[in-house]
Structure 1
Amino acid sequence: MATEKKRIILNAFDMTCVSHQSTGMWTHPSSQAARYNDIEYWTNMAIELERGHFDTLFIADVVGVYDVYRGSGEAALKDAAQVPVNDPFAAISAMAAVTKHVGFGVTAAITYEHPYLLARRLSTLDHLTKGRVAWNVVSSYLNSAAVNLGMDKQMTHDQRYDMADEYMEVIYKLWEGSWEDAAVKRDKASGVFADASKIHPIAHEGEYFKVPGYHLCEPSPQRTPVIFQAGASGRGRQFASNHAEGMFILTTSPEAAKPVTEDIRRLAVEAGRSADSIKIFTLLTVITAADDEAAEAKYEEFLEYANPEGMLALYGGWTGIDFSKLDPDAPLEAVPNDSLRTTLESLTNAEDGKVWTVRDVIRHRCIGGLGPVLVGGPEKVADMLERWVDEGGVDGFNLAYAITPGTTTDFIDYVVPELVRRGRAQTSYTDGSLRKKLIGTPDGRVEATHPAAAWGPHYVGKPSVADLTRPSTFDEQELVSFDRKRKSA
């Protein structure tokens, strides 16, 4: 009996900026990237992604500028390399209003967003999208973000993850434990919207956060949005094994992906979860056309618009290294720092034995940024995608673009039909929340083995808002009488 082929999860990878992963491409005549601050750019994209039956739009974010290269942000600003950058939350409601199924993965850094406020922002989006939101948990890697938010320098890599563990505990308490399922009544006859006896302050007091009160929002469709996580360092994998339902990794080949995906699934099992409870995505940029020759010609044309300094600005921020100070033909060397460790490792300890130089980064990464570029017609691209899944162990891809929306439209028009023919891509959506679509939980809530689930019944029987309410100085009968008069008026 033939083994059923694994469906490939497709996420579009974007950012609320001009140059995301491919620098200089915004100058291409067909690119609409400079319209990043136009709401129709985002709503049209959402409609297009739903046409292609994509799973999510994965929206990256940073809250700093890329100012390591040559000691300033000039190169980044010149090419709009992830600056200017808008708030990634703002367009999601508009995109949800013009679609029914595609999900939205939004990035927010735990280092600079207080959990009490972020819990409300994400619950609000989960309500307004009818349960189609994922939160990409990151800890931020740009020192410029830290100093602009009142810190002398950014926290160390592992300290950021230590804080993240407590952060998740706080936010799970708010989402899962604060409001019981039966707390919301919406009873017009009695005038009771919510039963205060079923709403509980979380009384959290830890090393990094003190949150005594209760969640500001009633439970949203998923309660806890789907948890995405980006970061595949050793500490990042440990964090993901506990919390992530979708994990974003950076690898250069299926062979390189295999040990990473196997390790992540092993850690998930050790954490008491199933090996397939985490869906793993890797970054790719796909340049495609009707056939291989046309795709190669398109790729060569795109290269004419590449901006090397813009890419070196991005790589300066990603690695913490000022590439302007290096010999362009000398092998890159690892330098311990608190930037993106897996990015630096991929350049200095490549799995294929390649020794990268600054010139190699310019030549091979001006399109694609942090990830590989696949160039070919539908069959060639589908073959390569299947290898990543079958041999590399990934579940799907975060697909970046060279030009937008053209790169995504090409993928939908050329590659998706081939994946459908091979039984690899969905042709319709499952009804329900994003978690139900991705993970398969019947009620759209977190799995029982996920740490958020432990907080669901945690506060039942413990002090509620009603228990903490002081007696009123008004006579209770007087209040009841006033209420009756108000209703009869």
Structure 2
Amino acid sequence: MPKLIRFNAFQMNTVSHQSPGLWTHPRNDSHRYTDPDYWTELAQLLERGLFDAIFLADVLGAYDVYQGSADAALRHAVQTPLNDPLALVPLMSQVTTHLGFGVTCALTYEHPYTFARRMSTLDHLTRGRIGWNIVTGYLDSAARNLGLDQQLSHDERYDLADEYMEVVYKLWEKSWDDDAVVNDKERGVYAEPSRIHPIAHEGKYFKVPGFHLCEPSPQRTPLLYQAGTSPRGTAFAAKHAECTFVSGPSIRVVKKYADDLRAAACAAGRDGDELKIYAQALIITAPGEDEARARHEEYKRHIDIEAALALLSGWTGVDFSQFPLDATIEYIDSDAGRSALASFSAADPNRKWTVREAAEFIGLGGRGPVLVGDPKQVADQLEMWQDETGIDGFNLAYAIAHESMRDVVDLIVPELQKRGRYRTEYTAGTLREKIRGQVLHFYTG
């Protein structure tokens, strides 16, 4: 029996996320991102479409690699201005019952002791629907604004991340026994001190002697997402991730990422098939094929090449203003987003992309494919991508807020349900239980 197709909604607390330039489209109201109704409307729409989660991306700096300045990012709203994603979760959780919330938080710049409390709080407030996308960051501008001359090297960021995970696992899983909270009003005892344990952590990067400030939340550890596909990122995901996100412009690229991630998980002693892999994609659809293709052409007219290059430069650490638009992208190793550049070069050696082609590609939907057609045609494409790559679902970017997600919910979800390839109702339980079907924690120390 074929696997069900799963959807996440790829969003960001900003004007323009993965389709730089599309904010100028007259039907796009993403400028409402500061309005709470914008987010509650989206959350209710996604829950109607039985999405697994809304996945909130984030960065802590500006895209200032292009031309050595943040000017292009500011002019074109390239993920700037940008508000805190965590603040959106309580808003959206209050108007939904099942939708999950995957939040990106860079561990490089926040102490694990305070971060663990923040995530436990959100897990309580969402009744167990919070997930954490573990990132190490890739922007030097973020490092500078947080007191460093530049970010740590790529691999050292993952060394720090391994210890960070050790600390938060201890806080979430080992500090409070399951029966620590007794809430005994007659004795006047809320929690038994003997059942609450200091973690006594002392490592290379962190020293945390005390106990977790929060009582156990429904999941204890939030559902863990990770998006790195560099060799070091893959090894990290193999050890920690329950769900991973991959981005690539072709089936070949995405299949390689998926195969590598599952193989790495097996090598780490886990069942690689249990890892849930979502591939980025943008769906452009309408009731008829001609209308869908006309909509695609309409969207393409709003692609902004300079904005796309500012985004790509930030992802890769390479200033693409230095190269002619018709220059060929070759693999360049950088301490920023290694997989972002590799997806256009070394990961797919049979195709050489020009700078212009890469900008035009990511200018509509980011680094994933654009699937265009009527509902049957798009469903065919989704099935093909899943069946040929082995992924579990799609992390759906948008072109127009909230038009793109509404089209998916109203047109694509019913078509997939008719084919038996999409859920028809939510199961009960926490986000981990909905996605994994079981409660699993990775910390065994």
Matches within 5 A, 1:108-147: 108-147=105-144
Q: Residue 280 of structure 1: CA displacement?
A: 0.5
For the pair 1:104 / 2:101, whether they are aligned, the reply is yes
For the pair 1:410 / 2:404, whether they are aligned, the reply is no
Which residue of 2 is the match for residue 198 of structure 1?
Answer: 195
Within 1, Cα distance between the matches of 2:381 and 2:294?
Answer: 19
Q: Deviations over 1:228-247 (max 9, x none)?
A: 00111111110011100000
In structure 1, which of residues 34, 38, 42 is the aligned counterpart of residue 35 of structure 2?
38
Q: Deviations over 1:440-483 (max 9, x none)?
A: 10xxx325xx2x2x14xxxxxxxxxxxxxxxxxxxxxxxxxxxx
Q: Is the 8 A contact 1:253 1:388 kept in 2?
A: no
Which residue of 2 is the match for residue 170 of structure 1?
Answer: 167
For the pair 1:244 / 2:241, whether they are aligned, the reply is yes
Q: Residue 424 of structure 1: CA displacement?
A: 1.0
Q: Residue 38 of structure 1: CA displacement?
A: 0.9
Q: Residue 352 of structure 1: CA displacement?
A: 6.6
Q: Deviations over 1:113-135 (max 9, x none)?
A: 11001100100000000000100
Within 2, Cα distance between the matches of 1:5 and 1:363?
Answer: 34
Q: Residue 363 of structure 1: CA displacement?
A: 2.6
Which residue of 2 is the match for residue 8 of structure 1?
Answer: 5
In structure 1, which of residues 52, 56, 80 is the aligned counterpart of residue 53 of structure 2?
56
Which residue of 2 is the match for residue 78 of structure 1?
Answer: 75
Q: Residue 362 of structure 1: CA displacement?
A: 2.9
Q: Deviations over 1:46-76 (max 9, x none)?
A: 0000000001000000000000111111111
Q: For residue 333 of structure 1, what is the amino acid of its counterpart?
A: E
For the pair 1:285 / 2:279, whether they are aligned, the reply is no
Q: Residue 141 of structure 1: CA displacement?
A: 0.3
Within 1, Cα distance between the matches of 2:42 and 2:258?
Answer: 30
For the pair 1:432 / 2:432, whether they are aligned, the reply is no
Q: For residue 49 of structure 1, what is the amino acid of its counterpart?
A: L
Matches within 5 A, 1:440-451: 440-441=437-438, 445-447=439-441, 450=442
Q: For residue 148 of structure 2, what is the amino acid of its counterpart?
A: M
SS in 2 for 1:36: helix
Which residue of 1 is the match for residue 65 of structure 2?
Answer: 68
Q: Is the 8 A contact 1:349 1:355 kept in 2?
A: no
> What is the CA RMSD across the aligned residues, in angstroms?
1.1
For the pair 1:87 / 2:84, whether they are aligned, the reply is yes
Q: Deviations over 1:331-381 (max 9, x none)?
A: 112222111111111222352722111111233221112222111111111
SS in 2 for 1:111: helix
Within 2, Cα distance between the matches of 1:353 and 1:437?
Answer: 39
Q: Is the 8 A contact 2:174 2:199 kept in 1?
A: yes
Q: Residue 164 of structure 1: CA displacement?
A: 0.5
Q: For residue 79 of structure 1, what is the amino acid of its counterpart?
A: H
Q: Residue 426 of structure 1: CA displacement?
A: 0.9
In structure 1, which of residues 375, 400, 406 is the aligned counterpart of residue 372 of structure 2?
375
Which residue of 1 is the match for residue 230 of structure 2?
Answer: 233
4+ runs deviating over 6 angstroms:
none
Matches within 5 A, 1:169-188: 169-188=166-185
TM-score by length of 2: 0.98
Within 2, Cα distance between the matches of 1:76 and 1:244?
Answer: 31
Q: Is the 8 A contact 2:6 2:52 kept in 1?
A: yes
Q: For residue 147 of structure 1, what is the amino acid of its counterpart?
A: R
Q: For residue 159 of structure 2, what is the amino acid of its counterpart?
A: D
Within 1, Cα distance between the matches of 2:105 and 2:397?
Answer: 19
SS in 2 for 1:276: helix
Q: Residue 305 of structure 1: CA displacement?
A: 1.9
Within 1, Cα distance between the matches of 2:100 and 2:391?
Answer: 19
Q: Residue 293 of structure 1: CA displacement?
A: 1.4
Q: For residue 74 of structure 2, what is the amino acid of its counterpart?
A: L
For the pair 1:300 / 2:297, whether they are aligned, the reply is yes
Q: Residue 438 of structure 1: CA displacement?
A: 0.3
Q: Residue 304 of structure 1: CA displacement?
A: 1.9
Structure 2's unaligned 5+ residue stretches are: none
Within 1, Cα distance between the matches of 2:138 and 2:269?
Answer: 30
Q: Is the 8 A contact 2:305 2:356 kept in 1?
A: no
**Segment drifting more, 248-257 vs 76-85:** 248-257
Structure 1's unaligned 5+ residue stretches are: 456-489
Q: Deviations over 1:142-178 (max 9, x none)?
A: 0100111100111000000011100000000000000
Q: Deviations over 1:379-435 (max 9, x none)?
A: 111111111211101101110000100000011111111110111111110001000
Within 2, Cα distance between the matches of 1:233 and 1:52?
Answer: 33
In structure 2, which of residues 353, 362, 366 is the aligned counterpart of residue 365 of structure 1?
362
In structure 2, which of residues 4, 10, 14 is the aligned counterpart of residue 17 of structure 1?
14
Which residue of 1 is the match for residue 320 of structure 2?
Answer: 323
Within 2, Cα distance between the matches of 1:351 and 1:335?
Answer: 14
Which residue of 2 is the match for residue 269 of structure 1?
Answer: 266
Q: Is the 8 A contact 1:224 1:446 kept in 2?
A: no
Which structure has the bigger radius of gyration? 1
Give the % identical residues.
Answer: 54
Q: Is the 8 A contact 1:60 1:106 kept in 2?
A: yes
Q: Paired residues, what number? A: 445
Q: Is the 8 A contact 1:232 1:250 kept in 2?
A: no
